[in-house]
Structures are given as C-alpha cells and as structure tokens.
Amino acid sequence: MLAPLHKHLLNDYQQDFPLSPTPYRDIADQLGVSEDEVLAAFKSLSEQHMISRIGPVIAPNSIGCSALVAMAVPEADLARVAEQISEYPEVNHNYERENRFNLWFVAVADDEHQLQQVIADIEIKTGYTAMLLPMLADYFINLGFELNLHD
C-alpha cells in the first residue's frame, strides 16, 4: 500500500512536474511537506521500481534522432535484456508485448550516427538483433494514469 505522499507524487507530477531550479522544493511547498520528504519518497518509489526515472518526454525527432525498436527475445531471457536496455540513457522506456517481437523500446540520440551506434551496442550487449521501425505518422498517447487516492 502506498503512503499518501507517494500517491500524490505519482498522480500530481506525471505531467506537471515543476520546471524550475528547485522543483523538489516547489513540490514540497505545494504538498505541505519538506523537500527532504519529497526526495525520500521519490527514492523509495524508485527502489520499489514504481518509477524508473524523472525526466521529460520529448516528441520523436524534434530534438536529435529517435526510433522505435523491436526485439524478439526468448521469455527466459527477457528480464535480463530489458534491464540491460534500460541502462542506456538513450532509452526512455521499454516494454513487453505479446508477439514474437516481444520487447519494444524508444531510443533517442543526438543524430542518426549515434542512434545507430547505440542500437549496435545494444545488439552486441544483449546478443539479439534489433529491428528499427521508422516513424511514418506521429501519434500522441497520454501515458498518465490516475491512482485511487481513497484506498
């Protein structure tokens, strides 16, 4: 069960994270807690794997170069490969799908050359081939979700 502070952080700051030199202090002021409490709560959420990072989601190809990538990974090796992919700062998320191509992720780099280098390194490190999928149309999907605060 999540503490009320954890629920507020997850609900209220998925999309409206303060853009300021002191975002954690701003959040603390808004919620009536200390900055240390906010930092400790985010650390706890990270350690519980409820959040993986705090950072912006930038529209594909608006800054640098990006690609959707799919990989076919045996189920027994999926957790290891997903963890390795998540270590790359160029990867903002990855997820499992029910398909032969069962691991998907988005990679973002400064330019096409760096993107190709990252994908090649991922292939070497994981031992599996990556399939880059070009963006033919741009769709925005709001990935925010509401938690029930009345539990």
pLDDT at 23: 93
| Domain span holding position 127 | 65-133
How many angstroms separate the CA atoms of 54 and 38, rounded? 13
pLDDT at 17: 86
**Domain membership flag for residue 121:** yes
Asked whether 106 and 93 are in contact (CB, 8 A), the reply is yes
pLDDT at 12: 84
pLDDT at 105: 93
Cα angle 124-127-133, degrees, rounded to a multiple of 5: 80
Assign residue 83 a region: left if phi > 0, alpha if psi is -120 to 50, beta otherwise?
alpha
Closest CA to 33 of 10, 54, 61, 4: 4
Whether residues 73 and 127 fall in one domain: yes
Residue 69: give its domain's CATH number: 3.30.70.3460
**Domain membership flag for residue 150:** no
In the chain, what is the straight-line distance between the N-terminal and C-terminal CA atoms, in Å?
8
Q: How many domains does the chain have?
A: 2
Looking at residue 52, what DSSP letter applies?
Answer: S
Whether residues 43 and 80 fall in one domain: no
Phi, psi of 85 (to 5 degrees): -65, -40
pLDDT at 143: 59
pLDDT at 137: 65
pTM strictly above 0.75: no
- Tens of pLDDT along the chain (151 residues) come to 778 899 888 888 887 889 899 999 999 999 999 999 999 999 999 888 888 778 776 666 667 788 899 999 999 999 999 999 999 999 977 899 999 999 999 898 999 999 999 999 999 999 999 999 877 666 655 556 666 655 5
pLDDT at 149: 55
Residues 6+ apart with CB under 8 A from 26: 18, 20
